[in-house]
């Protein structure tokens, strides 16, 4: 999404059901944020502490 007003971005994003929405950029991820699927399009989360939890065993 490309726009000159942040209010337009927030209005549109609140109506979307999407995994990633970029505002005035593209293909930019923060590796510390969890990323995951919505409904049946995938499994679990990647990135951030939530993504690491699947690989950890706490005894």
- Name which residue leads in pLDDT, 21 or 42: 21
CA distances from 8 to 2, 19, 51, 54 (A): 10, 19, 31, 36
- Is the per-residue pLDDT at 6 higher than 80? yes
DSSP assignment of 35-59: EE--TTS--SEESHHHHHHTT----
Percent of the chain with pLDDT strictly greater than 70: 63
Instruction: Say how many Å lie between the first and final Cα of the chain, rounded.
Output: 45
Query: pLDDT tens-digit profile of 9-34?
Result: 888 888 887 667 788 888 777 777 76
pLDDT band at 40 (very low <50, low <70, confident <90, very high): low
Report domain extents, the chain.
6-53
């Amino acid at each position: 999404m490309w726009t000159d007003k942040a209010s337009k971005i927030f209005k549109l994003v609140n109506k979307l059901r999407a995994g990633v929405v970029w505002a005035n950029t593209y293909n930019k991820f923060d590796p510390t944020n969890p990323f995951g699927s919505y409904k049946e399009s995938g499994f679990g989360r990647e990135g951030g502490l939530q993504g690491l939890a699947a690989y950890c065993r706490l005894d």
